[in-house]
Amino acid sequence: MGFFGKEAPETVEVRGQAFRCQVRGTQTFRQRRAQLHSGVATFFNLEWASPTCDCIICSSCGDVHGFFP
């Protein structure tokens, strides 16, 4: 079992348009959520309050594309 588990890559739409990887042009991705940390949040031990974004990871090259909700 790899880092992403066994789910199959899938196509993704962004604002109603089929999304392509900006590096390789691939149209299949794995999806994850990521928490964004800043130096200020880390300094005050408030990582839990940091914003999150939706990420799609290219199934071909691994490039990560992040989107705020």
CA proximity to 54, closest of 20, 25, 12: 12
Domain count, the chain: 1
Q: Please check whether residue 7 lies inside any domain of the structure.
A: no
Percentage of the chain modeled with pLDDT above 90: 42
Q: Please check whether residue 6 lies inside any domain of the structure.
A: no
Q: Please check whether residue 3 lies inside any domain of the structure.
A: no
Domain span at 44: 13-67
Check residue 37 and give its pLDDT.
Answer: 65
Q: Please check whether residue 46 lies inside any domain of the structure.
A: yes
**What's 30's domain CATH number?**
2.20.25
How far apart CA 22 and CA 42 sit, in angstroms, is 31
pLDDT single digits (tens) 9-38: 999 998 899 999 999 999 999 998 877 766
Q: Please check whether residue 21 lies inside any domain of the structure.
A: yes
